[in-house]
Amino acid sequence: MLNNKKIVVVLPAYNAGLTLEKTFNEIPFDIVDDIILVDDASLDNTSQVGIKLGIKHVIKHEKNKGYGANQKTCYDAARSLGAHIIIMLHPDYQYTPKLITAMSSIIANDVYPVVFGSRILGMGALKGGMPFYKFIANRFLTLFQNILMGQKLSEYHTGYRAFSIEVLNKINYKNCSDDFVFDNQTSAQIFYEGFEIAEITCPTKYNPEASSINFKRSIIYGIGVMITSIKYRLQKMGLGNFKIFQ
């Protein structure tokens, strides 16, 4: 609890059995009220590790639904618990949970309603081992998005995000993709509704256990990102009527 705000951390997981405990152990439980682990039909022991760690809210999809669908379950569960601030953190230990306090404080003190943990600020991505081709793709896509969406984020592709409940209640994340482009579609919705997004420098750790998508899926993701940005621009110009903005 921070400034009488209930803080809930959601962990969208898939095959995170080797990294979940490391992530869990760095969560600042002095301010975090609840943790929700959503296991998207992992092939390993992710759910069992979560239960062993004492996570009260462990939800397992019987079939793999996708990264976006996992987050939809996360946010639905967090809202049902009466959360005021929701932190979405990948449980693959790529991002340090130690920033939860700072990210929550920004929202709890009404500075910004959304905070992203940026791997690009401070060159944390390359220092942490991000493959160079992914870094270049990140920079290109972010530039493309900033131009079309009229923003100046350092990156749109982070898996570390904090939201006020007002934001999640306002946007229609249910209309977003069940796949990886979900994050970009929700970012577009946030800006479309007039909310601002703050960023905080986040060190990054790339390791063999960290989640990653293959080259083919990366291409599909990149195309989806560009399509989302184009739809946003058209919608703002009154030239579109796209489902993700309804």
Q: Give the pLDDT of residue 208.
A: 60
CA 153 to chain centre: 15
Confidence band, pLDDT 50/70/90 cuts, at residue 246? confident
Identify the pLDDT of residue 183.
97
Which pLDDT does position 173 carry in this prediction? 97
Rounded to the nearest angstrom, the gap between the alpha carbon of residue 69 and the centroid of all alpha carbons in its chain is 12
Residue 84 is encoded by which pair of tokens? 């005021």
Q: What is the mean pLDDT of residues 203-213?
A: 68
Is the pLDDT at 210 greater than 60? The verdict is no
What CATH number belongs to 7-245?
A: 3.90.550.10
pLDDT tens across 170-198, in order? 999 999 999 999 999 999 999 999 999 99
Q: Which of 21, 25, 22, 27 is nearest to 9 (CA)?
A: 27
pLDDT of the residue at 132: 81
Residue 217 has pLDDT above 70, yes or no: yes
What is the structure's pLDDT at 28? 97
SS (H, E, C) 181-221: CHHHHHHHHHHHCCCCEEEEECCECCCCCCCCCCHHHHHHH
The whole-number pLDDT of residue 36 equals: 98
Average pLDDT over residues 81-91: 97
What confidence score (pLDDT) does residue 12 get? 98
**3-state secondary structure at position 92:** coil
